[in-house]
Amino acid sequence: MATIVVLVVFALFLGAILTGGYNKELNNRLRSHWLWDWITTTDHKKIAVLYLLGGTFFFVIGGIEALLMRTQLLFPNNDFIVGREFNELLSMHGTNMIFFVAMPLLFALMNAVIPLQIGARDVAFPFLNALGFWLFFFGALLMNLSLLFGNSPDSGWTNYVPIASNVYSAGTGIDYYVLGVQISGFGTLMGGLNFIATIINMRTPGMSFLRMPLFTWTSFVSSALILFGFPPLTAGLFLVMFERIFGANFFDVAAGGNPVIWQHLFWIFGHPEVYIVILPAFGIMSEVISTFAKKRLFGYNSMVFATLLIGFLGFMVWAHHMFTVGMGPVANSIFAIATMAIAVPTGIKVFNWLFTMWGGKIRFTTAMLYAVGFIPTFVMGGVTGVMLASPPGDYQYHDSYFVVAHFHYVLIGGTVFGILAGCYYWWPKMFGYKLNEKLGKWSFWIFFIGFHLTFFIQHFLGFFGMPRRVFTYQPEDGVTMINQISTVGAYMQALGVILIVVNVIYSYRHRTPAGSDPWDGRTLEWTIPSPPPVYNFAQLPKVRALDAFWHEKMQGNKQMEPAEPLGPIHMPNNNHLPFLMSLGMFVSGLGFVFRSWEVGALGLAFFFLVMFLRSFEKDHGYHIETDEIQRIEKGANA
Amino acid sequence: MTLLLAVFAVFALVLTGCEEPAKSVFDPKGSAGEKNLDLIMLSVYIMTFVFVVVMAIYFYVLIRYRQKPGDNTIPKQVEGSMKMEMFWIIIPVILLVILAIPTLTTTFTLAEKPSEEEDALRVKVTAHQYWWEFYYPDLGIKTAQELHIPAGKRVHLELTSDDVVHSFWVPELGGKQDMTPGRTNHMWLDAKEPGVYAGRCAELCGASHALMNFEVVADEQSDFDKWVAKRQKPSSEPRTAEQEAGKKVFSQNCMSCHAIEGTELKTSGGKGPDLTGFGERQKVAGLLENNDENLDKWLKHPDEIKPGTYMPSFDFLNEKDMKNLKIYLESLE
């Protein structure tokens, strides 16, 4: 209890110092601060920027972790970072990159673009959207605090029991993982729900399902995967939490438990998860390739169908991560065939991209370079994926560096290239100015070459008997040179990322307005000013075909035909409760990590109290009046 | 197949600057490993074909359809083509069927259990953080870190774990199989030629996962029989005064975890590796070459060699006791 009192007093002091003490003006001072605006925002465009900043922050942390690991592997029997510390690094790297980098960065683009692509003024649940972001952020922060406090998670991002149990991982490490991922998982679930509701309900007149841009489609399927994929993870994490913190025995063999249950729960989530992060990237590639080849997407309908099929099959194949568990040849065979089947819809996509470019007029902008670089890289990752689907082959590849190479090919070559392509492509829409193309191309080539240098030869490390997640190898293994080349590649990638950051700063300093349609775009987001006004569309556009804007351009129209008369627009108010609720969860998580039940309970109580308050809050939003809209529109077009 | 293997070999050689990898999936030494490789190569062929086709179209498109300067015409907006799309649905399906059939047969072959009439060796393998226990139920032998098998004979392994999930992997002899506490998995392997094959733990199992190495020693049947006879009647009694003193040190310090057959030094549990015949092992702790210097290092500072090992440090022993202990251990045959 004393801890709480001390903490509260400390927080009050800190608050007093930062806000200049309490007086009548305090409230006004707080509310007019720019930070307050960002903390309380419910605008999907601002939340997108928050996701972008959050994801980038954890990307830097995850990247540094990767570099530290590759540095340790520079020499056989190196003693830079060994044993548990190395296991902590690999666990933090994996968890950060999947949960706190890939997902938020995709959410950033989804938030920024989807409402614009479907002609909506905001998402369906702006409050939920803000809550989703803050839960993600505080969950990620909670887990990464372990780097400061020491004793981080050390059982891999897969967190297999029993090494994740109290007996084999003493201390607070795994608790950070269990609570951090759960809290941010709630946020992700809310984000997914929100996009499903938005895409189903908020499409502008004429925007039928089969006229939706492909990025919206893939994000839609991805959100559905989140909806079905995250509950098994939450269930699994709940079991681990009860085992670690409250002394339950779900996985302890001596007490009648079974560790394989965790593996199933984890991969029932884990395999859809990789499609959650790759499908939106497919969507981005489809948009970018179609725009810069100046052609309609080849086989749009089959692209949509392939996306749905991948999403569906994604739930049928989890056990291919567990071929060596000993499920027997029948189960292994069934999952092998199911996994191979996924190659067919994925193949449809690749060929459709190629034939979108066929006969087109290809412009090699930086965004297009990433999309073009993505194709061979992703195909490489795809073919090794089919190789992994065959159990007898997998017995050799499994848990070796071959697997490491494979999933970095799909996650970097697929997801990261997709995110970068999306950033270069939509940056002018989000911020009103383009990123520098010259620096962009330099950074692309350095990153691209560095990536292949790092990971291509890692396939061979696997063939030469190097298991994954090892902190060292022996000189007589004869894999020193390959490891060194791989490390050099990793540093090259780091250089590429630094150049991207430099590019962002440089382009901001030398920004010139990019205009509403800098790339000769095809979809609705390019019909409104950049950056878009808070209400996005002064009048909702009427969609008459796939690639709605392109269709109008071909008809000789400069703008979309409005579907409604100009009138007052209803917008949601800012709200500080999402931040407070997430803060409550964060405090509670921290409390349980340190086994301080009072703090844990207090945080939860605070969370539910704020939730209760929210339920009775009368918040009807506000209206932007017609003359105000006209003024803003005039300013934007001037 | 040989052609592609050669390409791979050359490529690997160039990559590694003529550094020869010690073990390679491409160079199997047992029938299970050969079956794995056959399937790997089949998938490599099919996938290389796919990759080459995709890349051919890719480069053609990128070169042929670049926007030429000044050309602002708008290309024809093609919706798609049912015929072409059927083409790249059907061809991959055919390729996958070609891959799937041998995949299924091999999966079932590799899961074969010993039949009644098969004259196969059975070994029960138990993984511990961070060492390996090998028990031959039909021969009554228990050993650690070195799995001895007769060359040319199928060996059936029953795999389990005593603590966390481990995975048994000898890349040259075959694929992996997980070792999960509370369940017994089964796999078979053989070595066609006598030799020493490196083994690894392939599932993250804690701080010293990277160092949980072992060796498979394949001998000619006659040599293997000799080894069996020796293990069944080990020479473990001290023959000199120093060894006698060393045995005493052992009984006072090591016996609570380690057993030595052929003496009264027996423990009930398997907390540490069985040390019978330690002097003949190739490695200390499954990792360092078995010599006096390394044994000294291991006994004094085991945690520096294998972080997180349960072996405590014995640096408190005086120099004489330590020397006698080492002499006794190295005398075990």
Residue of B nearest to A478 (CA): B21
> Average pLDDT, stretch B284-301?
93
The angle that helices A417-431 and A366-388 make with each other, rounded to 10 degrees, is: 150
Same domain, A118 and A249: yes
3 state DSSP class of A153: coil
- Residues B242 and B234: their CA atoms lie apart, in Å, by 19
Question: Is residue B285 situated within a structural domain?
Answer: yes
Contacts of A464 in chain B (CB under 8 A): 12, 21-25, 171
Same domain, A539 and A514: yes
**B167 to chain A, minimum CA–CA distance in Å?**
8
pLDDT of residue A1: 64
**A328 to chain B, minimum CA–CA distance in Å?**
7
Same domain, A109 and A250: yes
Same domain, A205 and A353: yes
- Residues A60 and A57: their CA atoms lie apart, in Å, by 5
Question: Is residue A507 situated within a structural domain?
Answer: yes
pLDDT of residue B268: 56
DSSP symbol at B286: T
Which of A72, A84, A163, A379 should one mutate to test binding to chain B, selecting the residue with the greatest count of B CBs within 10 A?
A163
- Residues A361 and B101: their CA atoms lie apart, in Å, by 43
Cβ(A563)–Cβ(A527) below 8 Å: no
Question: Is residue B146 situated within a structural domain?
Answer: no
**B208 to chain A, minimum CA–CA distance in Å?**
6
pLDDT of residue A4: 74
Residue with tokens 């902008």: A365
Measured in whole angstroms, the distance separating CA A243 from the mean position of its chain's CA atoms is 29
Calculate the CA dihedral of residues A43, A291, A529, A434 and round it to 10 degrees. Answer: 90
- Residues A314 and A310: their CA atoms lie apart, in Å, by 6
B23–chain A Cβ distance below 8 A for any pair:
yes
Range of the domain at A277: 40-564
- Residues A75 and A391: their CA atoms lie apart, in Å, by 33
| Residue B150, beta-bridge partner list | B219
Nearest CB to A298; choose among B80, B106, B165: B80
Residue with tokens 């330099």: A442
- Residues A378 and A412: their CA atoms lie apart, in Å, by 9
Is residue B7 pLDDT above 60, yes or no? no
Range of the domain at B287: 241-331
| Residue B149, beta-bridge partner list | B218
- Residues A22 and B6: their CA atoms lie apart, in Å, by 78
Question: Is residue B254 situated within a structural domain?
Answer: yes
Long-range contacts: A371-374, Cβ < 8 Å, 24+?
A: A371/A284, A371/A285, A371/A288, A371/A289, A371/A292, A371/A417, A371/A421, A372/B62, A373/A413, A373/A417, A373/A444, A373/A448, A374/A281, A374/A285, A374/A413, A374/A414, A374/A417, A374/A418, A374/A421
Q: Which of A153, A42, A28 is nearest to A87 (CA)?
A: A153
Contacts of A394 in chain B (CB under 8 A): 175
Question: To the nearest whole percent, how much of chain B has pLDDT over 70?
Answer: 94
Question: Is residue A508 situated within a structural domain?
Answer: yes
- Using alpha carbons only, what angle is made at residue A66 by residues A64 and A70, rounded to the nearest 5 degrees? 115
Do B200 and A467 lie within an 8 Å CB cutoff? yes
pLDDT of residue B70: 85
Q: How far apart are the first and last CA of chain A?
A: 61
DSSP class per residue in B125-148 = EEEETTEEEEEETTTTEEEESEEE
Residue with tokens 């047969």: B105
- B67 to each of A358, A439, A480, B46, B156, how far by Cα in Å? 12, 22, 45, 34, 63
B24–chain A Cβ distance below 8 A for any pair:
yes
Same domain, A28 and A51: no
Question: Is residue A558 situated within a structural domain?
Answer: yes
Instruction: Report the range of poorest mean pLDDT among A499-513, B105-119, B184-198.
Output: B105-119
- Residues A605 and A622: their CA atoms lie apart, in Å, by 31
Residue with tokens 């972790």: A65
- Residues B78 and B67: their CA atoms lie apart, in Å, by 17
Contacts of B176 in chain A (CB under 8 A): 324, 395-396, 398-399
Measured in whole angstroms, the distance separating CA A570 from the mean position of its chain's CA atoms is 30
Cβ(B133)–Cβ(B149) below 8 Å: no
DSSP symbol at A25: T
- Phi, psi (degrees; rounded to nearest 5) at A242: -65, -35
Is residue B315 pLDDT above 70, yes or no? yes
Question: Is residue B233 situated within a structural domain?
Answer: no
3 state DSSP class of A528: coil
Query: CB neighbours of B66 closer than 8 A, spacing ≥ 6?
Result: A361, A362, A364
- Domain containing A310 — which CATH number? 1.20.210.10
The angle that helices A480-509 and A44-72 make with each other, rounded to 10 degrees, is: 150
pLDDT of residue B1: 44
149-188 in B: which are within 8 Å (CB) of A? Answer: 163-165, 167, 169, 171-172, 174-178, 180-183, 185-186
Residue B21 — very low, low, confident or very high, per pLDDT cuts 50/70/90? confident
Question: Is residue B184 situated within a structural domain?
Answer: no
Cβ(B158)–Cβ(B125) below 8 Å: yes
In this structure, the strands spanning B214-219 and B146-150 are: parallel
- Residues A197 and A194: their CA atoms lie apart, in Å, by 5
Same domain, A10 and A68: no
pLDDT of residue B15: 57
DSSP class per residue in B75-110 = PP-----HHHHHHHHHHHHHHHHHHHHHHHHHHHHH
Question: Is residue A358 situated within a structural domain?
Answer: yes
Contacts of A294 in chain B (CB under 8 A): 67, 74-75
pLDDT of residue A508: 96
- Domain containing B26 — which CATH number? 1.10.287.90
Nearest CB to A343; choose among B92, B111, B202: B92
Question: Is residue B302 situated within a structural domain?
Answer: yes
Q: Which of A57, A60, A64 is nearest to A108 (CA)?
A: A57
Query: CB neighbours of B293 closer than 8 A, spacing ≥ 6?
Result: none
Question: Is residue B279 situated within a structural domain?
Answer: yes
Do A380 and B76 lie within an 8 Å CB cutoff? no
Is residue B196 pLDDT above 90, yes or no? yes
Question: Is residue A47 situated within a structural domain?
Answer: yes
Calculate the CA dihedral of residues A506, A508, A514, A517 and round it to 10 degrees. Answer: 100
Query: CB neighbours of B240 closer than 8 A, spacing ≥ 6?
Result: B327, B331
**A540 to chain B, minimum CA–CA distance in Å?**
26
Do B108 and A362 lie within an 8 Å CB cutoff? no
Same domain, A51 and A24: no
- Domain containing B275 — which CATH number? 2.60.40.420
Question: Is residue B281 situated within a structural domain?
Answer: yes
Total number of domains in chain A: 2
Total number of domains in chain B: 2
Residue B11 — very low, low, confident or very high, per pLDDT cuts 50/70/90? low
pLDDT of residue B333: 84
3 state DSSP class of B149: strand
Starting at the edge strand found earlier in the chain, the sheet holding B146-150 runs B146-150, B214-219, B195-201, B166-169, B177-179
User: What is the model's pTM?
Assistant: 0.94
Do B308 and A400 lie within an 8 Å CB cutoff? no
Which parts of chain A have pLDDT scores under 70?
Answer: 1, 19-22, 636-638
Alpha-carbon dihedral sign for residues A416, A421, A422, A426: positive
- Residues A454 and A433: their CA atoms lie apart, in Å, by 33
DSSP symbol at B21: P
Nearest CB to B85; choose among A302, A467, A469: A302
Same domain, A21 and A157: no
B52–chain A Cβ distance below 8 A for any pair:
no
- Residues B325 and B238: their CA atoms lie apart, in Å, by 11
Contacts of A352 in chain B (CB under 8 A): 80, 85
DSSP class per residue in A557-617 = -SSPPBSS----EEEPPP-SHHHHHHHHHHHHHHHHHTT-HHHHHHHHHHHHHHHHHHHT-
